[in-house]
Structure 1
Amino acid sequence: MNNFANSKVIKLSFFVLLAVLMLAGCKEKEVWPKETYEMLNKRSIKLVTYNNSSLSQFSFEESANKHVAVYTNQFMDLSQCNDCGYPFVAFEVDPSLSEFSYSSAQELENIRAISGQTSSIFGPYASPIRSGSISGRKTTDYSWIITIDLPADSTKPSESRKIKGVFTLK
């Protein structure tokens, strides 16, 4: 083999190696926060409050005629913190409605609207949502476009939240 052929092979090998390194270096980093919009099929919300606490333990239980919409905002990698959870908002939805809008304290109570943490040192917790608005429109049998507008509370005045997303049946 002559020097010219050797030179071509070396150059080609170099460019192939460079391309492989570039592709390996282009690994997509995880994007934070990770927001999820889920509709849990045939579920209802159960809240259990102990000793007049403002926080309650919650669970999503089987129900024949309701769904539960759940928004979560995972703002950090939970593998870094065993006791950390992430904020969520959940409420019951009547799947037979094509549209809904709730804004009074009584309406929000009727749909069992809650917000809280999915986990903490004391376990998952939630408290009822008493103000704000939740509205939605069914787009298919399996998805809803929902807007949640929660005002800031007195302990965290800068944390008002407006959430809009497509909630998909799981």
Structure 2
Amino acid sequence: MDELTVLRRAVTEFDRRLRDVAGDRWRWPTPCESWTVLELVEHVANGNRMAVLLLNGATADRAAARVRRGGLTADAAAGDLRDSAEEQARAFAEHGALQRLCQHPADRISGREFALYRAGDIAVHAWDLARATGTVEALDHELVAVVLTTYLPWVTALGPNDQFDPGHDPGGSPQERLLTALGRRP
């Protein structure tokens, strides 16, 4: 499966769960410490926008400063997320985008690697959203397999920090291994 397909499938997994969010569910807590569902959705939308900026040559600091917005409302969240996902898809699909080097906050990486890392982040947050709202937690099996082999080694190499808390690999299904290694409790 190519990088753009992996990214598209991750976005689809997140969007599938987002459709079930309404009413007071936006204020419900998520497995991401101290984030509500609305804050999780804003985080993913901001990550999408940051990817566009990084692919277009912005530094990590400049991109992060431009996407920190806050104040997203529940009424606008789903549309904002979908718009940002479309912007991201167009940016990664641009001629030469997968070969470009960009300055991700954790490392200098190619657009190809970045597409896979975005897919991993979005896929794991799709599970977070499902857990928070009580919807289907099982992720696309092929997507999980790719994320497990591409995203997890990178995150694990970063070690524990303020963004990730890699745990240990207890075995189990690929999804259970991925989530546990990322500090989730499936």
| Shorter-chain TM-score range | under 0.3
Relative to total residues, which structure has the larger helix share, 1 or 2? 2
Relative to total residues, which structure has the larger strand share, 1 or 2? 1
Q: State the TM-score, normalizing by the size of structure 2.
A: 0.21
Greater radius of gyration (CA): 1
